[in-house]
Amino acid sequence: MNEKNILPREEVAAQEVYTLRLRQENDAYATETGRRRKAFVLTFGCQQNEADSEKLAGMSLSMGYVLTQTPDDADLILVNTCAIREHAEQKALSIIGQYKHLKAKNPSLLIGVCGCMVTQEHRKDDIKHRYPYVDFVFGTSSLHRLPQLICQKIEHGKRVFCPEESEYLVAEGLPIHSESSYRAWVSIMYGCNNFCSYCIVPYVRGRERSREMGEIVREVSELVNNGYRDITLLGQNVNSYGKDSGYPYDFADLLCELDKIEGDFLLRFMTSHPKDASRKLIDVMAASKHVAHQFHLPMQSGSDPILRAMNRHYDTTKYLDTVNYMREKMPDVTLTSDIIVGFPGESEEDFEATLAMLERVRFDMLYSFIYSPRKGTPAAEKEDQIPPAVKSARFERLLATQNAIALEKNQPLVQKTLRVLCDGVSKNNPALYAGRTEGNKIAFFEGTPDDTGKYVDFLVERADAFALYGKKI
Ligand code: 5AD
Ligand code: SF4
């Protein structure tokens, strides 16, 4: 057992006293009024945040709240924020601003803000000074302290600004509440050591810490036993899993172990760093029973000088080598990527190199972002920032190039039959049901309520750049 990264069990257990106290208080309120206090959890950002929010929801249930889908009738609001781009922060701040009137209507409402945005001191200060009705603020190292913070606020009346821990330790054993009964996320590691020059993550989520293999195997086995069908392993850089803790096993070994679990399920993982995506990992995937043939491999840029300036530690030759090996071993693999346009100093030539790489690699799907300077990161200090109009124009060209490629990649799937895990009625297209293929492509079809959470055989009749359309057979 590696003690270095793991929060002592007693510290997690210490929260149980606060949890129990709140549970008794919330039970008494329910008996008195015939109404249970409600908690609303709002999440911004990536899957890691979604996974953290499942813990916030789990803790809220343990404290005797019921969960609600709207802030309007909530007694406790928790906003789990993101810091990856300016836009994510502005969205969270604007929503937090809207809660002012809820607090005015219901002074006993408790509002807590947590996550990556408020792990930054300047944003914590913003909340302190500009949002006086926010009751407590806690960063990513203090997620497990939620019960204590609520107790503190209730008992002393003062707002609570939880100081950041100097060490970010893994808190095992927190209750998890998942909205889905068939898709799950499992964090296998936290934090990042890479310090890509544009990225805020290492500053707000600390250094890499891996969970022990035994804990992960136990969690995934339990999910499979409980009927979960699609399990995504999460980490900022899953390929360096285990290295931080000196475990005698790596990510490929972990996948191998998880692949032994019996049942009808798929394993996915994100995110991989191209500098660490090993042949061993690809070999394990190709030989596995449960690992989906889907790979998210953020390229960020197709220009070697820009990759260097980004501190990415690979070049386009190395990237192509990994992709070629992957396609050789798994010809059916779905490949997706992240691209940033308008990184400081990106010339027209650099940008065209990125477009050329898109044509060469031919991703199935791309998450594209306009570079957003993040306070405290080296790239934000650079003089040669790209004007917004240039960034936007490049972004449009990137999308146009990728959309044409995605359409060409999806067309050959027409008339094929694919296995799709159904997610129920589509939010964007309520006349149809939606699901995901093994390659994580979106499939639309006419379904029935009974299909939700099950695999259906899906005949592709039509494809566009973003989705497949067809029928159940
Ligand atoms: N600006 C724009 N995009 C960013 N990303 C990370 N930091 C920034 C930034 N400052 C993108 C990267 C990463 C994805 C999750 O977000 O492409 O892979
Ligand atoms: Fe950010 Fe780079 Fe770490 Fe990904 S690998 S979280 S982009 S610093």
Tens-place pLDDT, residues 284-336: 999 999 999 999 999 999 999 999 999 999 999 999 999 999 999 999 999 99
User: CATH 3.30.750.200 region(s) of the chain?
Assistant: 324-412
Which pLDDT belongs to residue 3?
Answer: 58
3 state DSSP class of 428: coil
Ligand 1 mutation pick, 367, 369, 371, 398, max ligand atoms within 8 A of CB = 369
Q: Report the pLDDT value the prediction gives residue 1, as an integer from 0 to 100.
A: 42
Interatomic CA distance for residues 11 and 455, integer angstroms = 41
In the chain, ranges of CATH 3.40.50.280 domains: 9-161
> What residue type is 190 in one-letter code?
Y
C-alpha span between 390 and 100 (Å, rounded): 37
Q: Is the pLDDT of residue 250 over 90?
A: yes
Quickly state the pLDDT bin for 244 (edges 50, 70, 90): confident
Nearest atom, ligand 1, residue 372 CA: 1
Distance 46 CA to ligand 1 centre (A): 11
The per-residue pLDDT for 150 is 97
Give distance in angstroms: CA of 343 to centre of ligand 1.
10
Q: CATH assignment of 414-472?
A: 2.40.50.140
> Would you say the CB of residue 137 lies under 6 angstroms from ligand 2?
no
pLDDT digits (tens, 9 = 90+) for 11-26: 888 899 999 999 999 9
Structure tokens at 75: 């007694």
Instruction: Tell me the pTM.
Output: 0.94
| Residue among 409, 452, 418 nearest 438 (CA) | 418
Highest mean pLDDT range out of 10-19, 105-114, 165-174? 105-114
Where in the chain is CATH 3.30.750.210? Answer: 180-292
What's the 353 CA to ligand 2 centre distance in angstroms?
22
CB-CB contact of 53 with 79 (8 Å): no
Nearest residue to 177 via CA among 57, 39, 70: 57
Confidence band of 4 (pLDDT split at 50, 70, 90): low
Q: What is the CATH number of domain 9-161?
A: 3.40.50.280
- Length of the chain in terms of residues written: 473
Among the listed residues 82, 81, 70, the one whose alpha carbon sits nearest the alpha carbon of residue 40:
70
**Of 257, 220, 225, which Cα lies nearest the Cα of 242?**
257
| Ligand 2 midpoint to CA 97 (Å) | 30
- Pocket of ligand 2 contains residue 367 by CB under 6 Å: no
- pLDDT score, position 164: 79
Tell me the CA end-to-end span of the chain in Å, nearest whole number. 49
Give the mean model confidence (pLDDT) for residues 433-443. Answer: 97
Ligand 2 and 237: CB distance under 6 A = yes
Residue with tokens 């090993």: 278
**Class in CATH terms, 324-412:** alpha beta
Task: Report yes or no: 301 and 307 within 8 Å, Cβ to Cβ.
Answer: yes
Residue predicted with more confidence, 347 or 13: 347
Neighbours of 389 (CB within 10 A): 8
Average pLDDT over residues 369-387: 98
Fold observed for domain 180-292: Transcription Regulator spoIIAA (3.30.750)
Nearest to 274 by CA among 307, 236, 322: 322
For residue 293, the tally of other CB atoms under 10 A from its CB is 19
DSSP track, 79-120: EEE--SSHHHHHHHHHHHHHTHHHHHH-TT-EEEEEESGGGS
Cα of 396 vs centre of ligand 2, distance in Å, is 24
Site residues for ligand 1, CB cut-off 6 Å: 84-85, 198-199, 298, 300, 338, 340, 369, 371-372, 374
pLDDT reported for residue 10: 83
Residue 166 pLDDT exceeds 70 = no
Does the structure show a pLDDT above 90 at 64? yes
Measure 368 CA to ligand 1 centroid, in angstroms: 9
Tally the C-alpha atoms within 13 A of residue 375's C-alpha that lie toward its C-beta: 9
Q: Which ligand is nearest to the CA of 340?
A: 1
Taking CA atoms only, the protein residue closest to ligand 2 atom 5 is 194
Selection from 197, 409, 407 nearest residue 301 by Cα: 197
Cis-peptide into 43, omega within 30 deg: no
- Residue-wise pLDDT for 257-280, tens only, equals 999 999 999 999 999 999 999 999
Q: 245-262: buried (b, 16+ CB within 10 Å) or exposed (e) per residue?
A: bebeebbbbbbbebeebe
Query: What percent of the chain stands above pLDDT 90?
Result: 92
Q: At what angle do helices 251-259 and 213-225 cross, to 10 degrees?
A: 30
For residues 319 and 335, give the distance between their C-alpha atoms in angstroms, rounded to a whole number: 12
Averaged pLDDT score across all residues of the chain: 95
Sign of the Cα pseudo-torsion (249, 252, 253, 258, in order): positive
Q: Residue 420 forms beta bridges with which residues?
A: 437, 456
Side-chain-side CA neighbours of 355 within 13 Å: the count stands at 17
Burial of 70 per CB tally in 10 Å (0-12, 13-18, 19+) = exposed
